[in-house]
Amino acid sequence: MVFLAGSLAFVVSACAPSSQSLAQQQNANALSQSAASDQMAQTISRLQIAKARDEGNINNPNITAVRREDFTVQAAKADRAIKELQHGYPVPHDEIEDALLEVPSQRISPEYRAQLIQELLKAKQLDEKREQEILIYWKDDQPIERSKFSLQAQRAAKVAKDLQLGESVHWAEIEQALYVPPDAL
């Protein structure tokens, strides 16, 4: 639309959204917020179930003190994530997954123990291989990078040894020992 006022011409464009497109945008935003709210409610519900499961296992008289501590830690992780979400704080996905992690409720079977030992030894080998690759392929020695793999290899070896000796090992310790840092190359 063009208006003439004296020697000046003014152009008025339709920059403002129409009432229909504004309503559609508001409706889409409301649906998006509703979906996010539903997803948060589902996450909180899953965390509450995990927390209740862990708290129930804490009172099991047939478990070891180490396993009881594992359940206490897991219940606390779930409780913390629930509180943060309920108060509007963002909780990283990996923290939620960690809080939802199910700790074996009983002593691990000899078969599962043997499987874990093999996985730990494979993780140790991979850590050692990556540590050596840094020495071979990098121009400069990178002690900080190498130490990540060296420490993980030592951790995996220690936990594997403890499991071989029949020791009770915290589940979080097993999980940490199975972790292999990303390839530095």
Cβ atoms of 3 and 10 closer than 8 Å: yes
The CA distance from 106 to 67, in Å, is 8
| Residue partners of 35: CB distance under 8 A and separation at least 6 | none
- The 10s digit of each residue's pLDDT in 13-46 is 444 555 566 656 655 555 556 666 788 889 889 9
The CA distance from 98 to 126, in Å, is 24
SS3 for 17-31 is CCHHHHHHHHHHHHH
Per-residue pLDDT of the chain (185 residues; tens, 9 = 90+): 444 444 444 444 444 555 566 656 655 555 556 666 788 889 889 999 999 998 988 888 888 888 889 899 999 999 999 999 999 999 999 899 988 888 876 677 889 899 999 999 999 999 999 888 888 877 776 777 788 889 999 999 999 999 999 888 888 899 899 998 887 66
Question: Which residue do the tokens 């464009």 mark?
Answer: 13
- Please tell me the predicted confidence (pLDDT) of residue 158: 96
- Please tell me the predicted confidence (pLDDT) of residue 39: 87
Q: Cα angle at 22 between 20 and 26, to 5 degrees? A: 120
The CA distance from 143 to 62, in Å, is 46
- Please tell me the predicted confidence (pLDDT) of residue 89: 92
The CA distance from 12 to 164, in Å, is 81
The CA distance from 33 to 41, in Å, is 12
User: Any alpha helices (H) in 87-140, and if so which ranges?
Assistant: 93-100, 110-137
- Please tell me the predicted confidence (pLDDT) of residue 35: 62
- Please tell me the predicted confidence (pLDDT) of residue 134: 81
What is the 3-state composition of the chain as percent helix, strand, coil, each rounded to the nearest 5?
70, 5, 25
Q: Which two tokens stand for residue 5?
A: 């006022």
| Residue partners of 150: CB distance under 8 A and separation at least 6 | 127, 131
Cβ atoms of 167 and 66 closer than 8 Å: no
